[in-house]
């Protein structure tokens, strides 16, 4: 049954970059400033938006007082905050600023950190080769530093964890597990016991998340190890605790223990910090919808479906902005391979758009008998479609259930073509089935038309729809 098929979860919470050895600065003023940064870190993890306000103030002060090491730490924190918020365009800006300052201050570690963040941006935009390039650049820079330096050790662990994300997203689970093991090897080199346990807390959690796709027993083993070394007080809102309970919920759901799954998901929701990462929230809400569906609680199911739709829109908007920033930033780089890599992706999208426009203008006529066999059936179908379009136009929670009733095998056909198709993509295909135009979908979802065009292109790739086939014609016969 559909409810035991779990959504993928992005592995996002690693050894946070502010857990690295902070500041070799001396002097009472700098020590006091370091203590204020440490306090800000606590707030940033429990309430990111509030923490970010403190971060901006501290960054301004660090620049005024010429506290260069503190400035680099705070710039790194800024990158992390925007990454957590899925504001990828701002991550790029902050990463560029971090690299410039790190180069000026001759900090090997933070030059590498800037590349690690860019690696994650390329992962988010499905630019595999660019992500691997940034990963390798980061490791090459770090290899020039002191292998026993705790900051270098921490950054190497982060680099391995971030690239594990790429393999995880592409379902290359063994390679992702290997990268997590490399990260753990670095963490175990930490001499400071608290830092070592903090790193293992995150690493075990991420490893358990990866193993969820290979072995549920191994996944549970690593999640329980993570909870066993948890450094935060019970009941504290924390990203990793949130992720751990989410994975335990997934495991219970796959075992069809729905009540236990709901207990874990509720714990996850209650321990999620304010403004928790969008993609992990999406995974949680998708799982909550499936769990409440299995338990027959339609009210709770609709509640979480509405939350899910809100998060999906935020993610789509962030990715749209990110693509523009990636292209813009690449054009400013002296590294031509970056320009060509991004430019190639954009050209492919533009070509797909031109093909789409051409065939949209010269629509292929559909034989009447292919669409409906009788006038009565046509009238009934038009009535159903009209109702579905109205629900869709209102962005109503009942749209998908009603659509599934009208087209009961629609999702099964899509999954048969590509098992990796997401629920959000199935919903988008439903819009195309109803012949909604780009403008209509953009209005309903409150997105830019170009975002919708990009989604059409991705659907065409996922379903192997030939370039010479009008996508509306394809779904009309689907």
Q: Dihedral sign for Cα 84, 90, 91, 95, please.
A: negative
Contacts of 319 (CB under 8 A, 6+ apart): 86, 88, 124, 125, 451
Q: Is the pLDDT of residue 319 over 50?
A: yes
Contacts of 317 (CB under 8 A, 6+ apart): 447, 451
Question: What integer pLDDT is reported at residue 61 of this predicted model?
Answer: 94
Mean pLDDT of 355-372: 39
Q: Looking up tokens 């990203």, which residue turns up?
A: 239
CA distance 144 to 138: 10
Question: What integer pLDDT is reported at residue 137 of this predicted model?
Answer: 96
CA distance 287 to 5: 9
CA distance 158 to 160: 5
Task: Return the minimum-mean-pLDDT range out of 110-119, 351-360, 446-455.
Answer: 351-360
Question: What integer pLDDT is reported at residue 177 of this predicted model?
Answer: 95
Question: What integer pLDDT is reported at residue 463 of this predicted model?
Answer: 87
Mean pLDDT of 156-168: 92
pLDDT level of residue 328 (50, 70, 90 thresholds): low
Q: Where are the alpha helices (DSSP H) in 188-297?
A: 193-211, 216-228, 239-254, 258-271, 278-295
pLDDT level of residue 341 (50, 70, 90 thresholds): very low
Q: Looking up tokens 């338990």, which residue turns up?
A: 295
Q: Please indicate whether residue 237 or residue 343 has the higher confidence score (pLDDT).
A: 237
Mean pLDDT of 365-381: 39
Task: Return the minimum-mean-pLDDT range out of 221-225, 253-257, 266-270, 295-299.
Answer: 295-299
CA distance 344 to 346: 5
Task: Return the minimum-mean-pLDDT range out of 14-28, 121-135, 162-176, 229-243.
Answer: 14-28
Mean pLDDT of 5-12: 36
Among residues of the chain, what percentage have pLDDT more than 90?
37
Q: Is the pLDDT of residue 352 over 50?
A: no
Predicted confidence (pLDDT) per residue in 188-212, tens digit: 998 888 888 888 999 999 999 999 9
Q: Please indicate whether residue 370 or residue 345 has the higher confidence score (pLDDT).
A: 345
Mean pLDDT of 239-254: 92
Q: Is the pLDDT of residue 294 over 50?
A: yes
Mean pLDDT of 320-325: 53
Provide the 3-class DSSP secondary structure of residue 31. helix
CA distance 158 to 128: 18
pTM for the structure as a whole: 0.60
Say if CB 149 and CB 164 are below 8 A apart.
Answer: no
CA distance 279 to 148: 34
Predicted confidence (pLDDT) per residue in 34-70, tens digit: 889 989 988 887 788 888 999 999 999 999 999 999 9
Q: Is the pLDDT of residue 436 over 80?
A: yes
Question: What integer pLDDT is reported at residue 178 of this predicted model?
Answer: 96
pLDDT level of residue 382 (50, 70, 90 thresholds): low
Question: What integer pLDDT is reported at residue 408 of this predicted model?
Answer: 76
CA distance 84 to 277: 5
Question: What integer pLDDT is reported at residue 138 of this predicted model?
Answer: 96
Q: Looking up tokens 């829109």, which residue turns up?
A: 313
For residue 12, give both structure tokens.
């996002």
Q: Please indicate whether residue 237 or residue 342 has the higher confidence score (pLDDT).
A: 237
Over the Cα atoms of the chain, what is R_g?
24
Domains plus CATH for the chain?
2-318 (1.25.40.10), 334-476 (no CATH)
């Amino acid at each position: 049954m559909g409810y035991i098929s779990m959504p993928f979860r992005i592995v996002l919470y690693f050894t946070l970059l502010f857990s690295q050895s902070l500041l070799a600065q001396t002097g009472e003023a700098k020590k006091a400033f370091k203590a204020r940064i440490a306090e800000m870190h606590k707030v940033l993890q429990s309430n990111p938006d509030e923490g970010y306000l403190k971060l901006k103030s501290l960054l301004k002060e660090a620049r005024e007082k010429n506290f260069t090491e503190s400035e680099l730490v705070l710039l790194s924190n800024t990158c992390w905050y925007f990454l957590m918020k899925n504001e990828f365009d701002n991550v790029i800006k902050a990463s560029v600023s971090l690299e410039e300052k790190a180069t000026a201050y001759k900090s090997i570690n933070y030059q590498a950190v800037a590349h690690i963040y860019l690696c994650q941006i390329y992962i988010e935009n499905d630019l595999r080769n660019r992500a691997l390039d940034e990963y390798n650049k980061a490791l090459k820079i770090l290899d020039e530093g002191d292998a026993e330096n705790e900051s270098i050790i921490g950054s190497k662990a982060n680099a391995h964890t971030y690239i594990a994300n790429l393999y995880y997203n592409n379902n290359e689970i063994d390679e992702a597990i290997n990268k997590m093991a490399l990260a753990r090897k670095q963490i175990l080199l930490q001499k400071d016991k608290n830092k070592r346990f903090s790193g293992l807390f995150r690493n075990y959690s991420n490893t358990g998340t990866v193993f969820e796709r290979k072995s549920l027993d191994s996944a549970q083993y690593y999640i329980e190890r993570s909870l066993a070394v948890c450094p935060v007080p019970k009941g504290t809102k924390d990203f990793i605790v949130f992720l751990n309970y989410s994975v335990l919920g997934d495991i219970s759901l796959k075992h069809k223990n729905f009540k236990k799954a709901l207990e874990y998901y509720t714990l996850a929701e209650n321990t999620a910090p304010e403004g928790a990462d969008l993609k992990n929230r999406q995974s949680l809400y998708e799982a909550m919808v499936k769990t409440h569906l299995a338990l027959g609680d339609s009210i709770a199911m609709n509640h979480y479906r509405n939350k899910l739709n809100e998060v999906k829109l935020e993610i789509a908007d962030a990715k749209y902005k990110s693509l523009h920033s990636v292209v813009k930033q690449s054009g400013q780089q002296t590294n031509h391979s970056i320009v060509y890599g991004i430019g190639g992706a954009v050209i492919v999208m533009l070509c797909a758009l031109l093909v789409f426009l051409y065939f949209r203008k010269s629509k292929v006529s559909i034989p009447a008998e292919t669409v409906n066999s009788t006038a009565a059936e046509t009238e009934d179908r038009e009535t159903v479609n009209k109702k579905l379009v109205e629900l869709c136009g209102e962005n109503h929670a009942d749209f998908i259930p009603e659509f599934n009733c009208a087209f009961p095998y629609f999702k099964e056909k899509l999954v048969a073509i590509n098992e990796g198709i997401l629920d959000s993509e199935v919903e988008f295909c439903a819009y195309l089935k109803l012949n909604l135009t780009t403008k209509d979908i953009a209005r309903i979802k409150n997105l830019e038309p170009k975002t919708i065009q990009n989604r059409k292109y991705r659907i065409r790739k996922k379903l192997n729809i030939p370039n010479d086939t009008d996508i509306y014609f394809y779904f009309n016969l689907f």
